[in-house]
Amino acid sequence: MKIILIGAPGAGKGTLAHKMIERFKDVRQISLGDIFRREVKKDSDLGRKLKKYMDAGVLVPDETAALVIEEHIPCNNFILDGYPRTVAQAGALDEIMEKKGIGLDKALYLDVSESTVEKRLSGRRVCRNCHKNYHIKNMPPKREGICDICGGELIQREDDKPEVIRRRWEVFQKENSLLVDYYRARKKLSVINADKEADEVMKEIVSVIKDGTA
């Protein structure tokens, strides 16, 4: 299973990727956003460069993203969340996978409306320690402000501030239809209605995968 999840900020890529690795055994999740945030937390040279782009809600340069993906992509089963976001990145991913002798099974496009995105991102909270995602209304923790898993403090991501959410949505809109067309033309695309509750979205994903189309 070699699958990519594409979709707007807040479409549920991270949430669904987690559910998928619980549901399907021996599959790894690779989230480019999470890898970047770990670099930022380490305060490495790379992390300091990444932070400027991420805090502004714009894409990190394609070459940087491709280098990180090449380093992290495994040859066995994976769910890649957050890459590619542009047609140039899709071409780079094809090249990286070809070099590794592997092929993509499916691009799952999580299709959401702007109003859903606004509600999800403004209500998202993330554990400072283990990075588990919550939502103050849709997926609240058992105790307000505290992570169910590790007891860490729940915080709001810098890029979940209203003005940055708007910018991320605009960046997404600019590239997305070309990216979707790229995978549609290669007969790899499945469009999933991601405005629904996470368990409903997951059911649709499972049925697409079980169809043998992924």
**Which residues contact ligand AP5 by CB under 6 A?**
7, 9-15, 32-33, 36, 53-54, 57-60, 65, 82-85, 89, 120-121, 124, 133-135, 138-139, 159, 168, 197-198, 201
184 is an active site residue: no
Give CA–CA dist 197/199, Å, rounded.
6
Which residue number places its CB atom closest to ligand AP5? 33
125 is an active site residue: no
168 is an active site residue: yes
- We find the least distance from the C-beta atom of residue 151 to ligand AP5, in angstroms, to be 19
Pairing of strands 154-155, 78-81: unpaired
124 is an active site residue: yes
Nearer residue to ligand AP5 within complex by CB, 2 or 13: 13
Instruction: Please enumerate in sequence order all residues whose Cβ is within 8 A of that of 148, keeping only pairs 6 or more positions apart, or say none.
Output: 132, 141, 142
Nearer residue to ligand AP5 within complex by CB, 79 or 159: 159
> Which of 82, 57, 56 shows the shortest CA–CA distance to 69?
82
* Residues linked to residue 78 through DSSP beta bridges, in sequence order: 2, 28
The token duo for 154 is 């729940």
52 is an active site residue: no
Nearer residue to ligand AP5 within complex by CB, 64 or 212: 64
- We find the least distance from the C-beta atom of residue 49 to ligand AP5, in angstroms, to be 11
- We find the least distance from the C-beta atom of residue 54 to ligand AP5, in angstroms, to be 4
On the question of a cis peptide bond just before residue 9, with omega within 30 degrees of 0, the verdict is no
Active-site residue, from 13, 106, 120, 188: 13
E-strand ranges in 57-193 read 78-81, 106-111, 124-127, 133-135, 154-155, 189-193
Residues annotated as catalytic are 13, 85, 124, 157, 168
